[in-house]
Structure 1
Amino acid sequence: MTISHALINHTTKPTICTTCGTQYPTASQLPELCPICNDDRQYIGDNGQTWMSLAILAKDRTIRFNKLNDQLYDLRISPAFAIGQRAFLILSESGNVLWDCLPYLDEQTVAFIQSKGGLKAIAISHPHYYSLMAEWSRIFDCPVYIHQNDSVWVQHPTPAVDYWEGDRKLLWDGMYLINTGGHFPGSCVLVQPDRLGKNRLFTGDSIYVARDRRAVTFMYSYPNHIPLPKKDIEQIRDRMADVSFDIIYGAFDWMTIAEKGRAVFDTSIQRYLQIFS
């Protein structure tokens, strides 16, 4: 399938928050401050509120693909922009999933994903990674799964968004989403079984991989170092109670726990809850 740049809306109007990467509709007046960044889980940039257009991003950005295994690629904007998170292209027999999203999209990326079978859905862990979801879902003609608890944070409403409810959403081929809460009320993780019968856990910031990769952490705000209350950590523990997993994939390049992820999670939960005892 050939995609022309005309199909990707590289508008010259600044519509993307340069701090968090969230896109706002071109037809709407931009807010004085991005509500996602003005929340105490994020921050307004040191130079104040600034905006970027897709046309400017397109001048010097690409999306890097890194093959992790036969079922999985991670994607990252290069040079880095906004938060700098990675997204994951999860290949599955009944349809591919993009886990989390990026604030940029180009022709080469569309062509690569189409060569792998396109996207059946986009699933997003929390509002900091909503980014360019409306454009991605339009180009790939697929729904975006966001938990109902975080619907208030959607800045670019689109009929493609499926606001799901409850603690879990079943996908296909054994994949499912879990609403852990914590960082945001609608924060989620994705579970995917691999071909060897072990589960991979994709966490975004809902369960945050520590720098030494021997622990995970749970925070209300990571940049502002605001901890979660005990009840939220207990909720994360309870909603993950029956889930086995080995590998943990977090939001940034170095955030991969390659083995014994469940044991790392359990030890980290116990450490946090001991603080409250």
Structure 2
Amino acid sequence: MDLTSGKICSTCGTQYPQQELSGTCVICADDRQYVPAGGQVWTDRSQLHDTFHVSWQELGPRLSDLRLSPRFAIGQRAILVRSPGGNVLWDCIPLLDEQTRIRIEALGGLRAIALSHPHFCSNMNEWAEAFNCEILIHASNSPWIVNRTPRLNLWQGDMLYLWDDLSLLKLGGHFPGSSVLYAPSLSAGGTVLLGDTLMVSPNGRHLSAMYSYPNRMPLPLQTVAAIFDRLDMLAYDTVHSYDRALSIYGNARQIAATSRERYGV
């Protein structure tokens, strides 16, 4: 079975194995996402390669932002974390072009792909095959994984230590297994990669947690409180959310505390 081929949802970027493809993307049919008013639209690898390329932006000495240009699907980005014990790709994007593969190989390849939640699985299998690495997704997110591979590692519990000073922490909320990547040495006070387990506001002054961001569906306040409780276990000053423009440098922990006060939890 070729898990690196098949159709790709143009709305969320999820890749489906051809034999499992139905009329509608199950990720988008879920209340957390949406099917466009004009109906389901599919694309594939060849069309993406013809139209898009992967653009890079350095976020720090060991941190690179990767996204499709022009913007595709929900505009998600992947973040390459470089670490002595092995590199991690945090979340995934729906295209791996040859220039990107060569560049990552020159930086040491990938030891793992770690996913915050199912919206960002994209074409994770193609990336994993190219770099001969495992895919880490929390087991609570298993029902929404549509393209499985033997490389898939469904981790359990509240925290998974990786190597060096890297670890995954389950916060829940947006999805049951929504997780963050914690890297204390990536900034002076520590860095948290959020995906959209928590969303940074466009003005950079607030963190929000929602069941569905595009459909404006809130989470119960007790769930929001639990998310902030778990985040408060970490020492950090920098956070990076799912989009290139949504990062906070230097005072992220204080902003998280202010955001929690606004929720009243």
Q: Spell out, residue by residue over 1:26-70, the C-alpha distance to the aligned partner (whole angstroms, 9 max, x if none).
A: 3x1411211100001100023201110111111121100111222
Q: Distance in 2 between matches of 1:59 and 1:196?
A: 37
Q: Read off the aligned partner of 2:136 and give its amino acid letter.
A: Y
Q: CA deviation at 1:273?
A: 2.5
Map 1:1-277 → 2, pairs under 5 A: 15-26=7-18, 28-194=19-185, 198-273=189-264
Q: Once superposed, what is the RMSD of the aligned Cα atoms?
A: 1.6
Report the CA distance between 1:258 and its aligned residue: 1.0
Contact 1:167 1:239 in 2 (8 A): no
List alignment gaps of at least 5 residues for structure 1: 1-7
- Specify the code of the residue in structure 2 equivalent to 1:128: H
Instruction: Give the 3-state SS of the residue equivalent to 1:56 in structure 2.
Output: helix
Q: Distance in 1 between matches of 2:94 and 2:115?
A: 13
Answer with 231-240 or 211-220: which moved more.
231-240
1:148/1:163 contact within 8 Å kept: yes
Distance 1:92 1:108 in 2: 21
Deviation at 1:271, TM superposition (A): 1.3
Cα offsets for 1:167-225 (capped at 9, x unmatched) = 10101111111100000001001110226652111001001101110111010000000
Q: How many residues align?
A: 264
Alignment CA distance shift 1:174-1:57 (3 Å) = same
Distance 1:270 1:254, change over 3 A: same
What TM-score, normalized by structure 2, do the two folds share?
0.96
SS at match of 1:194: helix
One-letter code of the match for 1:81? F
Quote the Cα distance in structure 2 between the aligned partners of 1:46 and 1:202: 32
Which amino acid counterpart does residue 266 of structure 1 have in structure 2?
A
1-structure distance, mates of 2:103, 2:264: 44
8 Å contact from structure 1 (residues 181, 187) kept in 2: yes
What residue number does 1:5 align with? none
Instruction: Extract structure 1 runs of 4+ deviating beyond 3 A.
Output: none
CA shift for structure 1 position 259: 1.2
What code does the residue aligned with 1:261 have?
A: A
Give CA deviations for 1:85-131 in whole Å, capped at 9, x if unaligned.
11100000110000000011111110000000000001011111010
